[in-house]
Structure 1
Amino acid sequence: MKKKYMGAKFVPYGTCSSNTNTGDLCTIAQKYNISLSGMNQAWFKQVVLPFSMRRFPGAFFLQGDSFIVVDKFGKRYACEKDFYQQRGMQMYQNPDRQVVFFVFDKRSRELYPGPIKGLGGPIPGDGVDKDCMVEGSNEEELTKGIKDLLAKVAPDFTLDSNFTSTLQAQIGRFNEYAREGKDPEFGRGDDTAQYCWHILRAKDNKFKNKTMYPIDQKNLRCILLGLSTLDTKGGPRINADGQILGRASDPVEGLYGAGNCVRSSTHFSYPASGATLSNAVLFGFKAGLHAMKPKNKL
């Protein structure tokens, strides 16, 4: 179903939904001519590739300061401290970002491993990093390692021919921003939420902006990030009482829906942590109240 509605190139790596969740309500709705909506939408996150349940299942917040995320061209394309739905959308909307590259250094590897306070690394901890992390004493060496790993996890996805030189220049610019405490390209750390979700200020980071620190270009590391979902959020439309709507937008008597099995009112956005559950709780409660109402007798 993901392949049908989201496109073969964007079938995400892994999901938080159960393996048995295969769209039963959508199948039932189509059988009875009930229209579907928002089938290309999802609650997005990123995961470390290759996907493994041995690692923390989602890169919710990108912890670290001496790191950047670049695309296949070796360029930063957004603020790395954006909320996870935003980062997922940045990948979903651009085929050149089917896989992106979290470039960091030995220092961040030692300071920010594993799921810090449960928020998702994505830097892997000891024992779960052998199949996903590459190292290099310079950008050229790192690029070779990235290509080798890409060939295993996403063989149809290739780097731009100028990736190495572009990455080198990009790291150089970022290091200047880190020392100055200001990111003129993407405003990293300017937003209060970004600043707060970066949980730890490293003890050795005396720069003005705690979300940035110069990357050591002689001790580089990289992990690959792929697109993943918490769940999809399309299906039949509902009204404020959780009633499923037919093609003419009239409620289908006795049929209710709530949560991720119906079209979400949030569209492509993710208002806040827990929004995936709040839709189910709210509209499930509303549906229950409506179903309990006495029906008018003829």
Structure 2
Amino acid sequence: MANIFLTNFNVMNRQSTRSSCRGKWGLARGREREREMVHFVLVHGLGHGGWCWYKVKPLLESAGHQVTAIDLAASGINMAKLAEVHTMSNYSQPLMELMDSLPPGEKVTLVGHSLGGYNLAIAMDRFPHKISVAVFLTAFMPDSTHSPSYVLDQFMERIPAEGCWLDTHFSSDLDPVMPKTTVLFGPKFLAFKLYQLSSSQDLALGETLVRPGSMFIEDLSKGKAFSKEGYGSVNRVYIVCKKDLVITEDFQRWMIENDPLKEVMEIEDADHMAMLSKPNELCFCLLDIANKYN
């Protein structure tokens, strides 16, 4: 892999526990090799798959870490069909199987993007002793007070009714017992809302590989709140992407205020797909987090 360099190595911690990530990759890579190996587990967002981490995975691995980029059920190259995936727990099953398979004593750094924040929450509730830190990358972050669907309900209420979803296609699952709303992002939505600062090549990749998915709001609305003993006991860090046009900065900060956490980091010019538009800055955030919490 070609050497990748950035400018202005300067990770700034503030008293407000906010920091921004910039840096020169070569310097950080050498330092990381002197530190203990961390196992990063990368969880994609709605409609995407493990493929969307293709820039970040080799960067973290070149710093000496283990990286697993999973495909959730009916996502990426996972062979399940969406019609067979009825609940958020079903959707999260590949992550649960990975967590269950970890050797005794091993802890991972979980990173969840977008809807992947909910998959993290389920893993945190079930396996808090196996997680060093959970990182929410411009992700939906539930609390341990309200119904699991609360944050998504707030998001749907606050998002503009017209003009936001563009050519995204919504449809209703006809399952009489466990209905769900399915979502397929259209090319205009991908180009102008999710990938607007990403390269044309990455946009083309997304247009080719994005699959239908669901936010499983109907299922989450019936569930119990995530527990303080499980979910609430795990270290949490939020990475704010300031140019996200879908989960906007204002809504990201609302979630942070709704359920305060250990630390907030920022990536200045990242769109929703920060792993594609700002992979180096994201890696600096993740390496800094891993060094602090492992």
TM-score (ref. length: structure 2): 0.27
| Structure of higher CA gyration radius | 1
Which fold has the larger relative contact order, with Cα–Cα distance below 8 Å and residues 6 or more apart in sequence?
1
